[in-house]
Amino acid sequence: MGPWPLDPRGPLAESIAFVYWILFGCAVVVLAIVVGALTYSGIKFRDRPGRVAQQIHGQNQLELIWTVVPTLMVISFTVLSWNRLNFINDVNSNVAMTVKVEGRQWAWGFTYPDQAMFKLPDGTLLQSGEQLDIPVGQKIKLELTAKDVIHSFWVPNLGGKKDAVPGHTTTMWIQADQPGTYKGQCFEFCGDGHADMLITVVAHPQSEYAAWAQTAVTEAARATAPETKAGRDAFLAGPCAGCHTVKGTTAAGKVGPELTHIASKPNIAGVLTPVNQENLTKWVHNAPSFKPGILMPKFDGVLPDKTIDDIVQWLLTLK
């Protein structure tokens, strides 16, 4: 059914869907009774020539019913929601792993837990942008924060929404019952690129998760040579990461082309051949002069020459 809260694929989403269906069912019954009684009365007691309406003053029994029944319903809903909220908000028991999530304009970044299997050779932890890979059947705690404005994390098949707030950590958990790919979306309007803030959660069978992590760590390690760390940091912290994706890092921008293997490409944007230090430097300095109308702005004078050099050195490692 796709990303839809009423197609739950994990215990948290199931819990929410369960409450939804009970409330929805009761609402339909109440609507039918109210509209039915209204229609019936409107026809039966309508104004007709020669009829005088019966003059009554209240009806204790009826009034009691339509006061007590809704009160009992509202109390039941409260107790039910309360009971479910305990389960939904329980982010700390039986947690298999904790992932740090950062929302920024306009992409989600994930940092995997401080465990040996996620350690890169340079000692940093595995990170990813847009896509989060988790093992099936395990409770994954998410610690959310934001870099700039408020975003909201929502993968409907796996759980509820939670705001990611700058300078503050919020928590939630997700769990997938079956292997598969689950789509999500930022749910708080956060500017121009809000619609591009997609989330993909991939759930792997538990037996395959360690192998996935190893591959991901190897892939990410390519881009973490200590000699090019300055360029990598500048790329990820600066405007580049907002538009470009580099797998194995938090850069997950969708506006520009993916740069995961830029150094192995035959040319830059089809206009500069080959991909080498000289051409990359020219390109970053002033892309519009080579391809008029391109979205990428010129960084000549915007970023220091040294920073551009560092970034180019790092891009050259992305083979």
Write out the residues near ligand CUA by the rule CB under 6 A.
103, 106, 151, 186, 188-190, 194, 197
Nearer to ligand CUA, 108 or 299 (CB): 108
Nearer to ligand CUA, 102 or 309 (CB): 102
Minimum distance, C-beta of residue 189 to ligand CUA, in the bound complex (Å) = 6
Structure token pair of residue 79: 């107790």
Q: How far apart are the first and last CA of the chain?
A: 38
Nearer to ligand CUA, 174 or 190 (CB): 190
Minimum distance, C-beta of residue 152 to ligand CUA, in the bound complex (Å) = 7
Nearer to ligand CUA, 194 or 265 (CB): 194
Minimum distance, C-beta of residue 109 to ligand CUA, in the bound complex (Å) = 12
Minimum distance, C-beta of residue 98 to ligand CUA, in the bound complex (Å) = 22
Minimum distance, C-beta of residue 27 to ligand CUA, in the bound complex (Å) = 30
Nearer to ligand CUA, 187 or 290 (CB): 187
Nearer to ligand CUA, 106 or 209 (CB): 106
Minimum distance, C-beta of residue 194 to ligand CUA, in the bound complex (Å) = 4
SS3 letters for the chain? CCCCCCCCCCHHHHHHHHHHHHHHHHHHHHHHHHHHHHHHHHHHCCCCCCCCCCCCCCCHHHHHHHHHHHHHHHHHHHHHHHHHHHHHCCCCCCEEEEEEEEEECCEEEEECCCCHHHECCCCCECEEECEEEEECCCEEEEEEEECCCCEEEECCCCCCEEEECECCCEEEEECCCCCEEEEEECCCCCCCCHHHCEEEEEEECHHHHHHHHHHHHHHHHHHHCHHHHHHHHHHHHCCHHHHCECCCCCCECCCCCCCCCHHHCCCECCCECCCCHHHHHHHHHCHHHCCCCCCCCCCECCECHHHHHHHHHHHCCCC
Minimum distance, C-beta of residue 191 to ligand CUA, in the bound complex (Å) = 7
d(CA 199, CA 131): 6
Respond yes or no on whether the N-terminal peptide bond of residue 274 is cis (omega within 30° of 0). yes
Nearer to ligand CUA, 103 or 129 (CB): 103
Instruction: Name residues whose C-beta falls within 8 Å of residue 109's C-beta, 6 or more positions apart in sequence.
Output: 101, 102, 103, 127, 128, 129, 250, 252
Minimum distance, C-beta of residue 253 to ligand CUA, in the bound complex (Å) = 13
- Find out whether 248 and 127 touch, Cβ atoms under 8 Å: yes
Nearer to ligand CUA, 106 or 112 (CB): 106
Nearer to ligand CUA, 196 or 300 (CB): 196
Minimum distance, C-beta of residue 185 to ligand CUA, in the bound complex (Å) = 8
